[in-house]
Structure 1
Amino acid sequence: MYTPPSPPAAKRTAGSSVRIGALVPLTRPGWVEAGRHLLAGLELAVHEVNDAGGIGGRPLELVVRDTAADPQRAAAAVDELARMGVAALAGEYHSVVARAAAARADSLGLPFLCSSAVLDALTDQPTEWVARLAPAQSHGWQLYADFLLGAGHSRIAVAAQPSVYWASGTGILRDCLAAHGGTVIELDMGELDPASVCDQLVENRATALLLLTGHPEPAVSIVKAVRHDQRLAEVLIGAPAGQPEFTEWAKLLGDDGAAIPFLRYLPERLGPLGARVETALRERLGEAPSFVAFEGYDTVTVLADVLRSHGADRARIAESWPRVAVDGTRGQIQFSRTPGISVWQWAWTPVQVVDRDPAEPGRFRILHTG
C-alpha cells in the first residue's frame, strides 16, 4: 500500500488534515499508465487547494491505495480508508474495480466521487453516496457506434475478453448497429490467437475490428498481426476504451499504433483553467496529460468545493451532490439523476473520437464529437 508524502503546502500537526481516500491502479495487471495520470491530476489539485489555504485553514491530504485492477483489493481498501476516517473517496479507472468500490462505499455510507470508470451499472441499486465524472458507457460508446456507421462500417468484429465491462460495451454496440442494419461479430480471445483473429476477419468479411481486450496484451499483438496481414489492408482497427491515448501504446507499436480511433473525454478546445492545468500536468508528468489526468484534477476540485461548503461530515457530502456547480477543466460540473444510471452523474462531459495521426503519431486527430 502506498501513501504519498503530503505536498509542501500541507504542513500540519497530527490529526489536523482533511483526508480523502484515493483508489488508483498503480501496479499490474492494472493499467499503470492510466493510474499514473489519474494520480498526477489528483495530486496537482490537492497541492493547489493547499496553496490556497486548504479546507477552512486545514490542509487537504490524499491517502492513496493501489487497487492493481483487483475488485477485492479495492473493496478492502475502502474498508481500511473508512476506518481511517477519510471524508470521501476519489478515483479509480477500471470499471469493474470501481463497481466493487462503489458497492462497498454505499454499504458503509462513505461518499465516493468516481473519476474515470464508465460502466453504467456502477451500483446494483440507486445510491445517494456515489457520484461520477466520467460519461456512462452507454453514452460514449453510442457516439463511437455513430462514428463507425458514419464512416461506412456496418460489419464490426470485436476481439473480446471475458469481463462485465467488455460484455456491456459489446451489447451497446450491437444495439446501436442493429438499429441501422449493422452486425457485431464476437471473437472470443479466450480461444483465438492473433493469427486466428485475422482469419476470422477475412471469413466474416468484417470491415472493422474493435479491441475489447487488455493492454498491452493481447491488444498489441492483435494490432501487429492485423497490420501486417495483406488481406486486411482496408480493415479499420478501433479501441473505444482508449488504449492509444497513452505514450506506451505509441512506444510499443510505432506507426502501427496510428489511425486507431478511441474515445477521449475532452472538449475540442480547453478554456483558461483547462489550459493552465494542462501546462502544470505536463510538467508533473513529463509528457502530454491524458484526459484521465484532467478527470483526477476535476475530482479533487469538486470535493474541495463540497468540503468548503458543507464540511467533512460524510452524510452532508453525499447530500450535496445535486447542488454541486463547479467550474472544472472541461466545463461546469453538475450532477443529476440520469435514466438507467444508478449514481449521481455529470451529464455529460465532452466526448471525442480521436486517433493518432499516421503522418505524426504524437499528434491526435479529432474524428467525431458529441
Structure 2
Amino acid sequence: MEIYCDNAATTALDPEVIEAILPFLTQNYGNPSSTHWAGRKVREAIDRSRNTIADILGASPGEIFFTSGATEANNLALTGAIQTYEISHVITSKIEHKAVLQTLARHEKEGDIEISFVKLDERGHVDLYHLENLLRANPRTLITLMHANNEIGNITDIHAISILAQRYNAIFHSDTTQTIGKIRFDLSQDHIDFLVGSAHKFHGPKGIGFIYINKKHNIKAQILGGGQEGGQRGGTENVIGIVGLAKALEVAYRNLDENQTKVCRLKQYMISKLAISGIGGICYNGDSKSIDNSISNVLNVSLPCLALGSVVNKLDAIGIAASGGSACSNLGNGSSHVISALPCQRDKENVRFSFSKFNTFDEVDHIVNSLARIYETEPATRKRELQLAN
C-alpha cells in the first residue's frame, strides 16, 4: 500500500487543473509575445490567470508577476529590494527557508548588508517585542519572515508584523509558500511589500510560482531579456504552468473551508492515534501539534531514535512517503537547520507528516500501525544483527 504524506514538499495535481492545462498542451501553443492570433489567444489566457490570482488575494493584476517558483520569487524580492533601495540591514529568523537564508548570506558575505536575527520562543514563534526593538534601532530595514514554517508549521502573525513595518518605515517580505491556498489573504488591507507562492504546494504544476510586488515598488529585475512580465522577469512565459497555477488557486479557495476542515481532522486524528500507539517518548516540534498556532496540514513528530536505520527510510521501504524535515534539506547532509534552532531533544528522530485533501483516515491508521510495528520489531532486529555479527 503506497501512501503519500509529504504534501508540504509537493502535492498531486488536482483533476480540474489537468483539465485546464490540456488545451495548452495540445492546441493553444502560440508564443504569448507573438502578435498573431495564436499568440493573442495564449496572451489572453495569461491575462485571465493573472486577474484570477489578483482577485483571490485582494491585489491588482499589475502587482502579480509569474516566476519559476517561490525560490526564484524570494530571490527576486530580497535581491531586488536590497539593490533598488540600497538596503544595508535585514531582519530575519534562523528558521526561514534556505531560499531566504542563503540569499541573505550571500549579500552579507559581499558586504551589502548586516543581518539581525529576531528572537524565537521555545516553540519557534517570533518575539514581536524583540522585532520592534530591532526596528527601532535600525530604521528603513528589510524584514523577511515567513508566514508558516515549512517544517514545523508554525504560523507567524504577519498582520502584526505589517503594522510594525509601517510604523518604522520598513519593507516587509513574507514567504507565504506554505499558506497560499490554505489561508485567506486580503493584500489590500495589509502593509506587505512582497509575498510569494508556488503552485505545486496547492495541487498545481511544478516549476511555476508568482510574486506579489506592491504597486508602490519598482525593484530591479534579476532575469533580463525579452521584457516579459512588465519587464520584471524576462523569458517566454510558462503558459501551461500559469494556467495551472490560477486554476489550482481557484479550486483551493473555492473549497477552502471544506478542505481545511478535513485536513485538520486528519492531523488531530493522527495525534490521537499516536497517543495510544504504544510508542514511548513521542513529542512534537515547534507548535505543530497546535490547531490554532500552526497550519493544519503539517505535523512534525519527534520519535525515539532507532538502533539502526531511520524511521523515514523504514516507512519508505513499506511505501509510506514522509519527510525528515523539508524536501530541500533532504538533498544535503546534516540535521534540519529549523529543528537545530529550537530547544528540542537531540536524541530523537524528527519526521514531518504533511496531509492534503487526498489523504484518508484509513491511511493515517496504516501509518501509525506501521510506526508501532517498526518500534515493536526494532529491538528484536537489533538482537539478531548482533548475534550474526558475533
State the TM-score, normalized to the length of structure 2.
0.34
| Higher relative strand content | 1
